[in-house]
């Protein structure tokens, strides 16, 4: 028994001599009489390797003997992924599995790397640019990179596990390139109709982008909008959950302010938010008022007649709870110096005429050199302790007060 070549490009076959003439015949099951070439040619050592799609393979030397090398190349527009070459060993086997492929050009996209905050591995052109345990493969926006393609648990599966979903891994060893198929678990539905998504294990140990959101099939979404009201914003509301509405500032509700989720549907919306109004105000005594409305944020301004001063806020605002921002101010009289042609002498004490508060008559006495203005003079006190006091005036005021330059 010896080996010979059926033809120059064929692999070695076992042959045997069948007669005394020295002729050699192939030991083939179906072609027992097929004459073989003599073993003048060396038998090849390694089998043919399949050229990658969109690529080619060249052997050096051509007969693939022990020590020969198979070189791979790709057509224009494609780049090589995997081992760039294989060597034929003495065992007549190639030194590695033929996992080479030609993929569309895979260049690093720096803009996308920055935008996605990706961490990329070392860039490469062929596997010769990488360490022994790494291959030069396309890693998405990172382009051709040196990746440890056989390292298990390379990506963390918990990063793709989200509520109400199940994850299937292919392969389950979680190596580079593992595809995680994510779908809704039983009793849940996707919010956008997408039944499943796939995310791939990338070279930096992260997963490619993608998200799937699943919610319980009896949950409620998209609650109705209520005019002049606001509400909490959530992705979904569980069956039986209440949704509270709050009227906007300046509005109030006269009915129930919540809805309830019932088996995926909202209860009837009977919520109304109506505008609040502040009560009408009266002008202060001896003063005036200017209205700009009584609705929320409307203002009212107050002023006093000449000779009276304003005590309190001159501008009030209608608040969201239907009250004014402050109490109505008061207008109070005051004393001023007389004209030069008026020469009055004043006593230094006051005597009350009527003790009723808020609306009463008083004896108002200004200090020396001052006299009351814009007060209604209702008479003069003719006597005080048996003396005539011609310069003492009785004035009508409606509010008890004490002012600078005067007493009452």
Measured distance CA(290)–CA(60) in Å, rounded: 104
C-alpha separations of 408 from 44, 103, 272, 380, 393 in Å: 132, 104, 55, 14, 11
Q: What is the distance between the alpha carbons of residues 370 and 333, in angstroms, rounded to a whole number? A: 13
Does 327 lie in the same domain as 358?
no
Same domain membership, residue 328 and residue 341: no
Write down the pLDDT at residue 97: 85
Domain residues for 245?
229-273
Q: Name 310's Cβ contacts closer than 8 Å, sequence gap at least 6.
A: 284, 287, 302, 303, 304, 329, 330, 331
49 within some domain: no
Q: Is residue 282 part of a domain?
A: no
Give the count of domains, the chain.
Answer: 7
Measured CA to CA in angstroms, residue 72 lies from 57, 75, 98, 394 at distances of: 5, 10, 10, 120
Rg (CA), the chain: 51
Same domain flag for 328 and 342: no
123 and 80 together in one domain: no
Question: Would you say residue 222 lies in a domain?
Answer: no
Q: Alpha-carbon distance 167 to 159, whole Å?
A: 11
Q: Give the per-residue pLDDT at 346.
A: 35
Which residue from 192, 222, 233 is spatially nearest to 210, judged by alpha carbons?
192
Q: Are 366 and 401 members of one domain?
A: yes
- Note whether 343 and 383 are same-domain residues: yes
339 and 327, same structural domain?
no
Question: What is the SS3 assignment for 133?
Answer: coil
**Confidence (pLDDT) at 372:** 54
3-state secondary structure of 352: coil
Q: 314 and 262 share a domain?
A: no
* Separation CA 260–CA 230 (nearest Å): 16
Q: Is 119 in the same domain as 166?
A: no
Name the β-bridge partners of 24: 17
Distance CA 297, CA 319 (A): 6
Residue 169: inside a domain: yes
Q: 313 CB contacts (<8 Å, ≥6 apart)?
A: 302, 325, 326, 327, 329
The DSSP output letter for 35 is B
- Which residues are within 8 A (CB) of 141 and not within 5 positions of it... i.e. 6 or more apart? 108, 109, 112, 113, 116, 118
Please tell me whether residue 340 adopts helix, strand or coil conformation: coil
Low-confidence ranges of the chain (pLDDT < 50): 1-42, 337-364, 374-408
Peptide bond into 255 cis (omega under 30): no
CATH code for the domain of 307: 2.10.70.10
Strand partners, 214: 190
Q: Identify the pLDDT of residue 349.
A: 34
In a domain, 62, yes or no: yes
Both 339 and 320 in one domain: the answer is no
Q: What CATH number corresponds to the domain at position 194? A: 2.10.70
pLDDT value of residue 345: 33
Phi, psi of 300 (to 5 degrees): -135, 135
Residue 176 covered by a domain? yes
φ and ψ at residue 112, rounded to 5 degrees: -70, -35
Q: Is 216 within 8 Å of 202 (Cβ atoms)? A: no
For residue 221, give the DSSP letter: -
Q: What is the pLDDT of residues 165-201, one digit of tens each?
A: 999 999 888 999 999 999 999 999 999 888 899 999 9
Residue 45 within any structural domain of the chain: no
Within-domain flag for 40: no
Helices first, then strands: H and E counts in the chain: 1, 34
Q: What is the dihedral of CA 218, 221, 225, 226, to 10 degrees?
A: 40
């Amino acid at each position: 028994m010896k080996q010979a070549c059926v033809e120059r490009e064929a692999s070695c076959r076992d042959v045997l001599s069948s007669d005394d003439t020295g002729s050699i015949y192939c030991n083939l099951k179906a072609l027992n009489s097929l004459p073989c070439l003599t073993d003048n040619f060396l038998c090849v050592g390694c089998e043919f390797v399949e050229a990658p799609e969109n690529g080619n393979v060249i052997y050096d030397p051509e007969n693939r003997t022990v020590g020969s090398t198979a070189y791979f190349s790709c057509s224009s527009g494609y780049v090589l992924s995997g081992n760039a070459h294989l060597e034929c060993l003495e065992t007549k086997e190639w030194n590695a599995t033929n996992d080479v492929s030609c993929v569309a050009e895979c260049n690093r996209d720096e803009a996308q790397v920055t935008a996605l905050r990706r961490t990329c591995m070392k860039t490469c052109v062929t596997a010769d640019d990488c360490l022994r345990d790494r291959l030069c493969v396309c890693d998405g926006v990172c382009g051709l990179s040196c990746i440890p393609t056989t390292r298990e648990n390379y990506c963390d599966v918990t990063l793709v596990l989200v509520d109400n979903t199940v994850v299937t891994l292919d392969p389950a060893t979680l190596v580079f390139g593992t595809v995680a198929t994510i779908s809704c678990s039983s009793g849940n539905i996707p919010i956008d109709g997408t039944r499943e998504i796939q995310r791939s294990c990338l070279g930096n140990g992260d997963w490619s982008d993608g998200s799937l959101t699943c919610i319980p099939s009896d949950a409620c979404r998209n609650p109705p909008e209520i005019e002049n009201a606001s509400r909490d914003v959530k992705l979904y509301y569980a069956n039986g959950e209440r949704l509270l509405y709050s009227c906007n500032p300046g509005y109030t509700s006269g009915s129930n302010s919540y809805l309830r989720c019932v088996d995926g549907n909202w209860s009837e919306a009977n919520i109304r938010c109506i505008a609040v109004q502040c009560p009408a105000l009266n002008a202060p005594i001896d003063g005036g008022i200017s209205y700009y409305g009584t609705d929320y944020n409307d203002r009212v301004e107050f002023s006093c007649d000449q000779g009276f001063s304003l005590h309190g806020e001159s501008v009030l605002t209608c608040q969201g709870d239907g009250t004014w921002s402050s109490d109505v101010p008061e207008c109070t009289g005051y004393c001023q110096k007389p004209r030069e042609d008026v020469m009055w002498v004043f006593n230094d004490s006051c005597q009350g005429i009527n003790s009723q508060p808020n609306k009463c008559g008083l004896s108002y006495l200004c200090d020396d050199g001052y006299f009351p203005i814009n007060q209604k003079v209702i008479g003069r006190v003719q006597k005080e302790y048996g003396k005539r006091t011609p310069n003492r005036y009785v004035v009508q005021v409606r509010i008890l007060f004490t002012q600078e330059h005067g007493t009452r």
